[in-house]
Amino acid sequence: MAGNRLKVAALQAPFGTDIDENIKTVTALVRAAAGDGAQVILPPELFQGPYFCKTQEEHWFETAYPALEHPCVTALQPLAAELGVAIPVSIFEKDGPCYYNSLVMLDADGAALGVYRKSHIPDGPGYQEKYYFRPGDTGFKVWPTKHGRIGVGICWDQWFPEAARAMAMMGADVLMYPTAIGSEPHDDSLDTAARWRRAMQGHAVSNVIPVVAANRVGDENGQVFYGTSFIADHTGGVVADLGRAETGHISAEFDLDFLNRHRAAWGFFRDRRPEFYR
């Protein structure tokens, strides 16, 4: 952290079947975001390849790796160290006979701080993740990176206020959500982009905390990912965003000392009544 300030970034891009090309895409965007001064840089969910969970096909299990051996992790570790940036890396993880939708948090020296496994696993048309992933067993995580305390949930986690509150209670300075979301195959008229944003903007308001969401774009065999990646400040206001088809990065800087004071002044954590929430 530069003094008491933290600059974060979100990346947005389409991804294909070639993992090496996808890593090159993310690498170029990380470099661009770091060039703008970003210190913690968020790529989208499962950028290793296409979003394979829209159907149930067993060959995709071959694309999972142990967390610290995953090609996306081993490729971005030296980049994080070179640029001095922290990178939450979304992966398809294999742990013995178990498979997870996971994230490895890389610190600004390239060190892996640990693994978070997605807690909430969706199962619906076009998003059949329960076929591939076990529910996460790590609990929520807040990572003490060299630039700040980063809480990260994965896609479907972003809809649950309990996840955001848990990470805020653990002392997160910012919440980040790598995502793969777009069209709904069962209903062409359903566009969730606005409510997707509003859910996370609500987390920002209720926890007085910035929120960063990174989505993919592109048409993957009829499933169109709608981008609209954004950064919201502690009021829920969108301070940076991308369109539905753009490839690029966005960034925003926050004063962490101010946010800590302001969070205390609002009293959300002082006035909680968890004995009534069960």
Let me know if 129 is a catalytic residue. no
CB distance 213 to 9 below 8 Å: no
List the catalytic residue out of 45, 93, 129, 220: 45
CA distance 194 to 53: 23
**Angle of CA points 55, 56, 60, to nearest 5°:** 100
Q: DSSP letter string over 171-228? A: T-SEEEEE---B--TT-TT---HHHHHHHHHHHHHHHT--EEEE--EEEETTEEEE--
List the catalytic residue out of 7, 54, 94, 118: 118
**Angle of CA points 152, 193, 126, to nearest 5°:** 80
DSSP 8-state code for residue 52: G
Q: DSSP letter string over 88-103? A: EEEEEEEETTEEEEEE
| Alpha-carbon radius of gyration of the chain | 17
Let me know if 54 is a catalytic residue. no
Let me know if 155 is a catalytic residue. yes
CA distance 197 to 195: 5
Q: What residues pair up with 224 in beta bridges, in sequence order?
A: 219
**Angle of CA points 46, 158, 201, to nearest 5°:** 125
List the catalytic residue out of 93, 141, 155, 220: 155
Q: Which of 118, 142, 144 is nearest to 132 (CA)?
A: 118
Helix locations, 62-191, DSSP H:
71-83, 161-169
Write out the catalytic residue numbers. 45, 118, 155
